[in-house]
Amino acid sequence: MQAPVLAIGDGALGFWAAVRDVWPEAKDQLCWVHKIANVLDKLPKSIQPRAKRALHAIMYAESKAACSPEIDKFVDEYRAKYPKAVASLVDNRDRLLTFFDFPADHWKHLRTTNPIESTFATVKLRQHVTKGAGSRAAGLAMAFKLMQSAQSNWRCLDGHELVPLVRAGVRFIDGKQQERKKEPITKQQVQPRKVAA
Q: What is the DSSP string of 38-89?
A: HHHHTS-TTTHHHHHHHHHHHHT-SSHHHHHHHHHHHHHHHTTT-HHHHHHH
CA distance 29 to 9: 7
**pLDDT score of 192:** 56
For range 108-117, the mean pLDDT: 81
136-150 helix and 114-130 helix, angle to the nearest 10 degrees? 130
Binning pLDDT at 50, 70 and 90, where does residue 182 land? low
Q: Which residues contact 69 (CB under 8 A, 6 or more apart)?
A: none
The yes-or-no verdict on residue 147 having pLDDT over 60 is: yes
**pLDDT score of 196:** 54
Share of the chain above pLDDT 90, in %: 47
CA distance 126 to 59: 33
- 3-class DSSP state of 173: strand
Binning pLDDT at 50, 70 and 90, where does residue 103 land? very high
For range 147-151, the mean pLDDT: 80
Cβ atoms of 44 and 93 within 8 Å: the answer is no
Task: Report residue 7: phi and psi, to 5°.
Answer: -115, 130
Lowest mean pLDDT among 21-35, 116-130, 172-186: 116-130
The yes-or-no verdict on residue 1 having pLDDT over 80 is: no
Q: Which residues contact 48 (CB under 8 A, 6 or more apart)?
A: 40
**pLDDT score of 189:** 56
Q: What is the DSSP string of 3-45?
A: PPSEEEE-S-HHHHHHHHHH-TTSEEEE-HHHHHHHHHHTS-T
Q: Where are the domains of the chain?
A: 6-153
For range 79-88, the mean pLDDT: 96
The yes-or-no verdict on residue 152 having pLDDT over 90 is: no
